[in-house]
Structure 1
Amino acid sequence: MITFATIAFGAVFLVVAVILAGVTVSFLADAEHAPGTVVELEWRNDHNGASHKRRASDKPVAYPVVEFTSADGEARTFRSSTGSNPPSYEEGEQVEVLYRAGSPEDARIKGFASLWLLPLIFGGVGLVFATIGTAFVVAGRRRS
């Protein structure tokens, strides 16, 4: 029973990974390109309040705030949804921005992490669980 639950858990994560990858591919197909500048690094502690136990390795994460000019000539600013420590970008750094022409507020830095990190995480976790569950089923059947 547990092995099938493990396979199901892995399958759900794989489906989510495929959906997230599809959203990214759709975004890339429609995206406009614009040069942008990292104008600030927004440092945040991404913790879950009182339920989070503080660890020595917990450090603030830097989210780049990027300014660009969309095709309509309007200056836009957005905070990347992908942060890191150490920071992936520096203030003043030039980056390529991708955004939807119909909704320029939906913008991302053209970079591997901001485009593909979530699908890879979900896909990796799903693959690990599905593989472990499948291995236990195969091993159990060989013993029988």
Structure 2
Amino acid sequence: MRLQVRGRGARRWITFGAIAFGTVFLAVGLIMAGASVSFLKDADRAPGTVVALEWRNDDSGTSRRSREHDEPVAYPVVEYRPTGGTRTTFRSSVGSNPPSYERGERVGVLYHADSPEDARIDGFASLWLMPLIFGGIGLVCAGIGTAVAVVGRPRS
């Protein structure tokens, strides 16, 4: 009898943890999506050109052994001219391997007139990838936690 009570209590905590974790991730995803929408609302557009690919290994503090097999990631470096301004260069915050863009490729650039160095490539990954990842993980975790809570609740 005692073992059953501990199991039920542990299941409740795990279920609560999954729902809480999922809710936090879903909220972060929604906040990031809101930031992208806000950026799009106020952004100016300009044509740009990928002038270089900056290859980097992500040093996320992992052990040396796990980094030995990591492949470098290419971050596009884009040059554009804001309306009435001088040429500006920025490195995209989204990289990939294989590269999403080639050197010399024309891309759309979104930027704020008051801070042209804070620019983004007008593409799905730079605007929506992180909100979708966080929101998706949050939705799945909260959904599983909620389903376990509903199925495991005592019947009357």
> Same fold by TM (over 0.5)?
yes
Q: Any idea what the Cα deviations from partners look like across 1:116-142, whole Å, max 9, x if unmatched? A: 001000001101110110111011116
Q: Any idea what the Cα deviations from partners look like across 1:41-81, whole Å, max 9, x if unmatched? A: 00000032453542675210000000000112211000000
Distance 2:88 2:106 in 1: 15
Deviates most, 43-52 or 12-21: 43-52
DSSP-derived class of the 1:22 partner: helix
Deviates most, 54-63 or 35-44: 54-63
DSSP-derived class of the 1:54 partner: helix
| TM-score in terms of structure 1 length | 0.94
Which amino acid letter does the alignment assign opposite residue 77 of structure 2? V
What aligned pairs does 1:41-120 form with structure 2 within 5 A after superposition? 41-49=53-61, 51=63, 53-54=65-66, 58-120=70-132
Distance 1:88 1:103 in 2: 25
CA change 1:139–1:52 in 2 (3 A) is farther
Distance 1:86 1:143 in 2: 53
Distance 2:123 2:65 in 1: 32
Which amino acid letter does the alignment assign opposite residue 25 of structure 1? V
Q: Does 1:131 align with 2:143?
A: yes
Distance 1:126 1:52 in 2: 30
DSSP-derived class of the 1:33 partner: strand
Q: Any idea what the Cα deviations from partners look like across 1:1-40, whole Å, max 9, x if unmatched? A: 1101110110001111111001000000001000000000
Q: Which residue of 2 is the match for residue 4 of structure 1?
A: 16
Root mean square deviation, CA, Å: 1.6
Distance 2:120 2:100 in 1: 14
Identity of aligned residues (%): 68
| TM-score in terms of structure 2 length | 0.87
CA change 1:91–1:55 in 2 (3 A) is same
| Number of equivalences | 144
Q: Structure 1: which 5+ runs fail to align?
A: none
Which amino acid letter does the alignment assign opposite residue 117 of structure 2? E
Which amino acid letter does the alignment assign opposite residue 138 of structure 1? V
Q: Which residue of 2 is the match for residue 36 of structure 1?
A: 48
Which amino acid letter does the alignment assign opposite residue 82 of structure 2? S
Which amino acid letter does the alignment assign opposite residue 129 of structure 1? C
Distance 1:7 1:50 in 2: 28
